Chains A and B, each alone.
Chain A
Amino acid sequence: MLIVLAGAIVPAIAQQVQLPGGSGNSTNSGSRPKVDETALRYFASQGDTRRLEAEIARLRALYPEWSPPADLFGPQTDTELERMWKLYADGKYSDVRSAIAARQAADPQWDPPADLLARLNEAEGRQRLINASDAQQWNTVLRIATEAPGLLTCANVDILWRVAEAFAKTDQTPRALDAYTYVLTNCNDTSERVATVQKAIPLLTDDEIQNLLKLERKDAQGKPEFAVLRDDLIRRRMGKAAENPEFTVPEADITRMEELSKQSTTAGDPLVLGWYLFRHDDAKRALEWFKLALDRKGGPKAAEGYVLALNSLGRALEAEPIAYEWRDSAPENNKAYLDVVISLLTADPPPVLDEIVLTRFSPVVMRDKYVPGAQALGWYAYNTGQIVTARSWFETALNWDPNDEPSAYGLALAYWRLKDGARLNALVRAWGTRSERIVALVDPAVRARLEARNAQSQITTYTDPLIAAAARLTPTPTLQPPPLGAPSATLGSNTQFQPVPGSTVTAYAPTSQFQPVPQFEGSSAQPAAQPVSYTEQTTYTAPPTPPRRRSVTRSVARTGSSVSESGGSAGAALARAWKLMELNRPIEAIPEFDYAIKYGQGRTAEDAAYGKSLAYMRKGMTNAAQAAALQAPQNPRRSLQLSADLLAQRAYEFYRDGRYVEAIISLDEHARLAPEQQDMMLLRAWCYYQLHDYQSAKRIFRALAAQGNVKANEGINAIAASTRQLRDAY
């Protein structure tokens, strides 16, 4: 249907191209036609010479042999019709319709002049087309344009723009390009010509715009008319690349935007520049432009950029007050605020935080029931030796999300430190099937197995900085526990926290008491320059556990402070990547993850590798899962839950990426959810093969071959070949 429509439009435009110079409608010019002169007479009677002349020109173009009647300025004989023309000229189309209907009702023989009807149809069609275009009803726009091709002239350049936009919005870009080309070829008003390209810029590709720019003319002074648009094109390129870090712009564009940003007095240009630089890992330069944008009242987006840039430069402490000020302006600002404080709380070593930072953070966490926030408060309390407070926050986090393994792990650690064996055992029972590292706190056998696996998968450097940090105690202002109403069973019995009557912010006063740690040898007031050995603990590190909630949470929980750990931009890239994942933009997340893999260390890199595989999976699954995603877009949590299938796919992805250790980890996780089938075992064997663990590989291949698996023989042969090569090389 659209193709038919489009087919009709272009001849219509072509027809208009001929109209001004040509003989008009040749079928009508042969015999002496009956020319409708009512409009002519009306304009004459009104002394409207401009319209009169236009009408004479129009009729002459249509009927070359026609000449204006001699009695043009004589009295009108049909006063009713005269009134209709007057209403038409006044734009009162409904009144004209009403008058025509009234006359037809009274005189069934009477027909309105065809010219009046045509003009009325056109005028109403024009209004209807504008209404449809405003309401983004593109097919209606195209239908009306097809029915009233007379609208598509330079005199109605706005209509041409709207038709072009309708083509672009209905995936008919070539037709849109035709329409813009028509305007630039035939219409002469310079400001309309410039506006035409401006209208086209958001709708067409750079190449298509370049084609339009070829139609540029020079003004009387020889100045190219589209010069002013080059800056718009730079803005557009940079804006696009700011959204999607896969794109970059030439350095000249950046220089020009810097000039423009300095010249202008508005926030728009510096904001685009800031986001571009920030998304291309130049937080330092970005910061300067975000600051300018913020000074020019650039609003929440400027504040968000400024905060993120500071945070990414490791200046979270400076970012916090601004982040706090803007936190309620937009969801992104709230998120930026939470992230900033979380990176402060989980920094290693824990910084000395002004009390205000903590007292204003916890109400926001409580209000939003923000699990990563509660968890970060837990780690901060834990790392600063306030184990009872830590316990409360972990409990709170776990109450909000009972499936949050990191919070459960934190709680388990707190119980363990508090020697609360009963609760620890209860927690271990609840999480026994889901978290080996929790079980490892009470079960030496599991601990040994984890250690062995870590050794095998060569990630022994993988230590939990939060556990390491737990051994270091830094005197800091004490944390407030969750305010009253927080679902914490132990709070009430805790004499450390005294409710403050009448407090509006929180029901609990900050305690000046410092909580000593039972196991700690020595005074709590003494900073532990020398980490008291929790050496057993540091070996409890577990392979990555499947996240059971939002990815962003996970990144926080497992990476701790991205800033301190990875020296800035890799951590920032990872945070951006998770954010993009949260926004369901996995393709854009991939380069961010790549960056974090390349420049990040330890957990940042691992997290990024994991994230990257997730992004690929999501990309692969988007189409199939689209219906489901549409049904429950509010629940990103569920979409990340790793089923056995996803884990299997992840293992394949890792294998394909050459990340064999991670592939084995995925296979381990998969094996916990479902019995390992032959294809999975085969994959596992190939992983060992790639890691040159030929012994393990051979064992599996042989077992499979014994069961009649033909493909396993390939593995056995490959091992034979490789080991021979090795021998040959020596």
Chain B
Amino acid sequence: MMRYLLAGVLLLACGVLQAMAQSQTLISQEAWATYMKQFVQDNGRVVDEANGGISHSEGQGYGMLLAFLAGDRSNFERIWSFTRTELLIRDDGLAAWRWDPNSNPHVTDVNAASDGDLLIAYALARAGRTWGIQGYTDSATRIARAIGHKLVVQNGSRLVLLPGATGFASSDRKDGPILNLSYWIFETFPVMAQLAPETDWAALAKSGLELLTIAKLGPARLPPDWISAPDNAPVTVADGFPPVFGYNSLRISLYLLRAGIADAELQESFRRSWLTENGGSPAIVDIPTGRVLTRLTDPGYRMLGAVLACALNATPIPQDLRRFEPTLYYPSTLYLLGWALVAEKYPRCL
């Protein structure tokens, strides 16, 4: 078990270094232009229109990462300009997570969200290196240090990534820490390790993989979106959160693959739920009963199943998923991230 975990971490490091050397045209100009037109405003704001048109640090980070993967320096700078000016205002150097166009002031929750910070720092770091822009690297370093300092905490025997700066730690809640395993974007950790070596990112990746193996809850053995993971106690569904494998956790499969972790055992419950039981579509699953609540047929979500089938069985990407058809911000983002992965690592599926 432990050997396999360590192998995973090493694999992860290799995967990213390889990716760093790659040329940056993994997303076609056409697809990226469509995405920009649909979801990014002129001021660089990535709009989550399914959630009342708000923006968040996660969306800004995704936008920057996609711009980088599309090799678009101009729009990368555009999205970064908004991100820095509007969200990167916290005293601790992290980004405020929620921005609402209908509120004044626009930042309606100044708490941080660790996946947003990871994505922003990661995109900046890769762009800074590939395009030779020191300012990006400097900003990435500051954010990475802040993440390590503020959001990566030792909880008993485990190093964990808190979902936010306040409200989730064991000191905040009796059942804490509350974790969201889909915030652990494994591909970012080796990059963070280069930027902020004072934090043990490899140990963080290791505890993330360990938690993924023990957080398979309920009859479907899928990881809930939000878990309570106290030290020396079993992982449970976090109190006050919907007990589902939902829109958060469904990213985990893609994140593992993007980090070069193709381990069949970790992917098994995703494979069974998506490919065997739901015809290739991910589904929202009720953890206590294992019942499917909603089957997600948006192309962006089906792409997750297609990428998994490609990685595990070399199944070609279905014809109807070969062309980017934007729908909503979130599945469209996942689609492009999935596409970029296939284009880079599994061209045989295309």
Contact = CB atoms under 8 A, between A and B. Distances in A.
A93 B96 contact: no
Interface stretch (B3-11, B69-77, B267-275): B69-77
Nearest to A170: B91
Given A102-B74, A105-B73, A140-B89, A135 B84 contact: no
A131 interface: yes
B42 interface: yes
A139 interface: yes
A132 interface: yes
A206 B96 CA distance: 36
A95 interface: yes
Contacts of B107: 131, 134-135
B156 to A, nearest CB: 18
A131 B77 contact: no
A699 interface: no
A285 interface: no
Nearest to B88: A128
A358 interface: no
A97 B81 CA distance: 7
B89 A101 contact: no
Contacts of A98: 44, 74-75, 77-78, 81
A127 B105 CA distance: 12
A99 interface: yes
Interface in A183-200: none
B74 A124 contact: no
Interface string A130-151: 0110111111100000000000
Contacts of B129: none
A658 B209 CA distance: 66
A128 B82 CA distance: 10
A419 interface: no
Nearest to B107: A135
A124 B87 CA distance: 12
A101 B77 contact: yes
A95 B78 contact: yes
Given A94-B43, A102-B73, A139 B78 contact: no
A100 B131 CA distance: 14
A137 B85 CA distance: 13
B91 A140 contact: yes
Contacts of B33: none
B74 A128 contact: no
A94 B81 contact: yes
Interface hub of A94, A127, A135, A140 (most chain B Cβ within 10 A): A94
A101 B86 CA distance: 20
A138 B91 CA distance: 7
Contacts of B82: 94
B89 A131 contact: yes
A104 interface: yes
Contacts of A132: 89
A92 interface: yes
Contacts of B43: 92, 94-95
Given A92-B42, A98-B81, A131 B75 contact: no
Contacts of B110: 135-137
Contacts of B89: 128, 131-132, 135, 137, 140
B37 interface: no
Contact of A94 (B44, B96, B105): B44
B149 interface: no
Contacts of B91: 137-140
Contacts of B85: 93, 124, 127-128, 131
B90 interface: yes
A101 B74 contact: yes
B5 to A, nearest CB: 35
Contacts of B75: 98
B42 A95 contact: yes
A131 B81 contact: no
Contacts of A127: 85-86
Nearest to B105: A134
Interface string A431-458: 0000000000000000000000000000
A630 to B, nearest CB: 9
Nearest to B99: A131
Nearest to A108: B132
B84 A124 contact: yes
Contacts of A93: 81, 85
B73 A104 contact: yes
A94 B91 CA distance: 23
Nearest to B104: A134
A99 B85 CA distance: 17
Contacts of B84: 124, 128
A97 B77 contact: yes
Contacts of A138: 91
A92 B45 CA distance: 13
Contacts of B96: 135
A131 B105 contact: yes
B75 to A, nearest CB: 6
Given A124-B81, A124-B84, A137 B76 contact: no
Nearest to B74: A102
Contacts of A104: 73
A136 B42 CA distance: 27
Interface hub of B81, B85, B106 (most chain A Cβ within 10 A): B85
Contacts of A100: 77
Interface in A68-120: 92-95, 97-102, 104-105
Interface string A459-473: 000000000000000
A97 B42 CA distance: 11
Contacts of A136: 110
Contacts of B76: 101
Contacts of B77: 97-98, 100-101
A134 B106 CA distance: 9
A474 B301 CA distance: 76
Interface hub of A95, A97, A127, A140 (most chain B Cβ within 10 A): A97
A163 to B, nearest CB: 15
Nearest to A124: B85
Contacts of B80: 97
Given A93-B81, A138-B91, A131 B86 contact: yes
A135 B86 CA distance: 11
B300 to A, nearest CB: 26
A86 to B, nearest CB: 14
B245 to A, nearest CB: 33
Contacts of B86: 127-128, 131
A98 B86 CA distance: 16
Interface string B127-158: 00001000000000000000000000000000
B105 A140 contact: no
B90 A137 contact: yes
Interface string B193-213: 000000000000000000000
A100 B110 CA distance: 30
Interface string B99-136: 00000011100100000000000000000000100000
Contacts of A105: 73-74, 131
A93 B110 CA distance: 23
A199 to B, nearest CB: 17
A128 B80 CA distance: 13
Contacts of A140: 89-91
24 contacts: A92-B42, A94-B42, A94-B44, A95-B42, A97-B44, A97-B80, A97-B81, A98-B44, A98-B77, A98-B81, A101-B73, A101-B74, A102-B73, A124-B85, A131-B86, A131-B89, A131-B106, A131-B107, A135-B90, A135-B110, A137-B89, A137-B90, A137-B110, A140-B89
Q: Which 7 A-B pairs rank lowest in CB-CB distance, beginning with the nearest?
A: A102-B74, A101-B77, A134-B105, A98-B78, A132-B89, A139-B91, A94-B44
Given A93-B81, A97-B77, A135-B107, 16 more contacts: A92-B42, A95-B43, A97-B78, A98-B74, A98-B81, A99-B74, A101-B74, A101-B78, A105-B73, A124-B81, A124-B84, A128-B85, A128-B89, A131-B107, A137-B89, A140-B90
Interface of A: 92-95, 97-102, 104-105, 124, 127-128, 131-132, 134-140
